[in-house]
């Protein structure tokens, strides 16, 4: 009788534990974005200026290449990077990627950046970045380098933080 009681207690405790755990994937990092996320991210990006707090390109930390630059995302789709002596302009947009090649039905949120410059550092930022997470103070992006000619499989990472 005691064994049956303990088995029942164990199963009941396990069920309570499983249902009380919070899933931290609610931020959309698993590809569960929708059109409301597009608008929300656009509004957040347009509010204030941003700095690059992390940039990893082909496995190399290149964050310091953007020290001193303040990035502003305009409502008209313009982007500017200004370090006080140099201003580099380009375009940006946010959209859902409903690529039919995906194995799941979920949409990825893309943050697309293009610069009008021959500056090699800013050329590295020109990507269709996938949004890992975003908030009013941070935008974390990644690119898997599928379209690069390099033979490496390093993931590129880009993080903007509000100034």
Classified by CATH at the fold level, domain 31-162 comes out as Lipocalin (2.40.128)
Give pLDDT tens digits for 11-55: 655 545 444 444 443 444 455 899 999 999 999 999 999 999 999
Q: How many CB atoms lie within 10 A of CB 35?
A: 11
Residues 115/88, Cβ–Cβ less than 8 Å:
yes
DSSP-derived secondary structure letter, 149: S
Domain residues of the chain, as ranges?
31-162
What is the four-CA torsion angle of 81, 83, 85, 91, rounded to 10 degrees?
A: 0
Give pLDDT tens digits for 91-143: 999 999 876 555 555 689 999 999 989 999 999 999 999 999 999 999 999 99
Strand partners, 143: 156
Q: Both tokens of residue 28?
A: 């959309």
pLDDT value of residue 22? 41
More confident residue, 155 or 8: 155
Residues 95/107, Cβ–Cβ less than 8 Å:
no
pLDDT value of residue 97? 83
């Amino acid at each position: 009788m005691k064994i049956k009681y303990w088995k029942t207690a164990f199963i009941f405790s396990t069920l309570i534990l499983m249902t009380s755990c919070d899933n931290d994937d609610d931020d959309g990092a698993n590809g569960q974005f929708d059109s409301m996320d597009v608008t929300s991210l656009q509004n957040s990006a347009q509010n204030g200026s941003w700095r690059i707090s992390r940039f990893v390109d082909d496995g190399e930390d290149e964050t310091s290449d953007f020290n001193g630059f303040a990035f502003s995302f305009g409502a008209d789709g313009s982007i500017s990077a200004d370090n006080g002596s140099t201003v580099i302009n380009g375009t940006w947009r946010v959209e859902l990627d409903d690529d039919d090649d995906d194995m799941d039905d979920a949409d990825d949120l893309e943050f697309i950046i293009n610069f009008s410059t021959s500056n090699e550092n800013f050329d590295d930022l020109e990507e269709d970045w996938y949004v890992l997470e975003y908030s009013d103070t941070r935008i974390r992006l990644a690119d898997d380098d599928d379209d690069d000619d390099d033979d490496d499989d390093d993931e590129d990472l880009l993080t903007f933080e509000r100034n």
